[in-house]
Structure 1
Amino acid sequence: MSDKKYIYYTDYHSAIGPLTVAATQKGICAVQFGDKTQTLPSLKAWSKKQHIPGHMVEDKAPFMEAVYQLEEYFSHHRQTFDLPFDLYGTSFQKVVWNALSDIPYGETRSYKQIAAAIGAPKAVRAIGGANNKNPLPILLPCHRVIGNNGNMVGYGGGIDKKVYLLRLEGAISKVSS
């Protein structure tokens, strides 16, 4: 058996445009907006910064279940994801990212509500920073986080993608667009 480690990646053509999905042997570690020609340099830089050992290998096979679940999500047949994740970030970021999974499909929460939910009511800005670093958009639904006043605020893929995802989930009528 080889001791070599790999970071697998593939393109997925979603309803909101191309995505690059990456995984280690432990699970999905990154989702980036754009196809591999756009995202591979930043994916390599991100994996180096996170000290993720491994050679980058393009391979669709490790992503069959992830692609299947994304297809179900985009066709209104899935509300949560049941995939192994391999999260890289600070302890605080991981707490925030796990809290994102607690936001029900079709609902939104403000940064302030997330801060209260994790027991850090004064950490609203830090919540925003952690949300911005979410390596698994869509899978860990940071698109469900909105401004305290109900307005759309930043999203790594762009506000248009955030609006699309909230509309897909039926939450758009509950927030300003």
Structure 2
Amino acid sequence: MASRRVPKVKSTMGGSRCKERHMALLTPVGKIEILGCETGLHEIKLPKMSLLPSGAESTAIYEVYEGSEEMTEPLQQCMGWLHAYFCEPARTATLPVPAFHHPLLQQDSFTSKVLWTLLRDVKFGEAVSYKHLADLAGNSRAARAVGGAMRSNPLYIIIYKML
């Protein structure tokens, strides 16, 4: 498996709170909300159901719905990555992954280790089992814990492989 270059941002825990920005995109799966700051992405919220907002057509490939006036560098990178994901999926493997700034990804925990391992060591679109991912993360007996880590993933659409 080829390793991808992934920026890991250290959090300033206990420091001042970051100024969170919000952006929404209309995509083929509905409205996706992106939250982040100057340092990195906090969360990507997918729609609960695969329904587009009222007034949007199902043919809408990808457009900024709200928040474009306050785009930080990580939000711009995320927008570029999501555009490629929906319009040119093969290109996502060559794009830089935006920096992340979610506390879960900054902690020294098994969940954090699983998510970083998945992002770094598994190719986009590659199918891996929870057992295999547990092996890659260093604990071959933790397949159920890998399931819990995936359930708490705040950046699901970027840190996701076929499991």
Is the pair's TM-score, using the shorter chain for normalization, greater than 0.5?
yes
Relative distance call for 1:4 and 1:84 in structure 2 (3 A) is closer
Query: Per chain length, whose mean CA-contact separation is higher, i.e. which structure has more relative contact order (CA < 8 Å, sep 6+)?
Result: 2
2:86 paired with 1:68: no
Is contact 2:117–2:137 with CA below 8 Å preserved after alignment? Answer: yes
- Shift of the alpha carbon at 1:106? 2.7
- Shift of the alpha carbon at 1:84? 1.0
* Distance in structure 1 (CA, Å) of the matches to 2:85 and 2:96: 8
Is contact 2:113–2:137 with CA below 8 Å preserved after alignment? Answer: yes
* Distance in structure 1 (CA, Å) of the matches to 2:124 and 2:18: 35
Ranges in structure 2 where 5+ consecutive residues have no aligned partner: 1-15, 49-65
The total of aligned residue pairs comes to: 120
Structure ranking higher in helix proportion: 1
- Of residues 13, 27, 38, the one that matches 2:26 is 13
Question: In structure 2, what is the equivalent of residue 24 of structure 1?
Answer: 37
Question: In structure 1, what is the equivalent of residue 155 of structure 2?
Answer: 136
- Shift of the alpha carbon at 1:24? 2.4
Is contact 1:103–1:144 with CA below 8 Å preserved after alignment? Answer: no
Relative distance call for 1:135 and 1:4 in structure 2 (3 A) is closer
- Of residues 82, 104, 110, the one that matches 2:97 is 82
Listed one character per residue, the Cα deviations across residues 95-128 of structure 1 (whole Å, up to 9, x for unaligned) are 0111221221231100000011111111111110
SS of aligned partner of 2:20: strand
Relative distance call for 1:100 and 1:15 in structure 2 (3 A) is farther
TM-score in terms of structure 2 length? 0.65
Q: Give runs of ≥4 in structure 1 deviating > 6 Å.
A: none
SS of aligned partner of 1:114: helix
SS of aligned partner of 2:97: coil
RMSD: 2.1
TM-score in terms of structure 1 length? 0.61
2:110 paired with 1:92: yes
Ranges in structure 1 where 5+ consecutive residues have no aligned partner: 36-57, 146-177
Question: In structure 1, what is the equivalent of residue 56 of structure 2?
Answer: none
* Distance in structure 2 (CA, Å) of the matches to 1:16 and 1:84: 24
- The share of aligned pairs that are identical, in percent, is 24
* Distance in structure 2 (CA, Å) of the matches to 1:131 and 1:119: 16
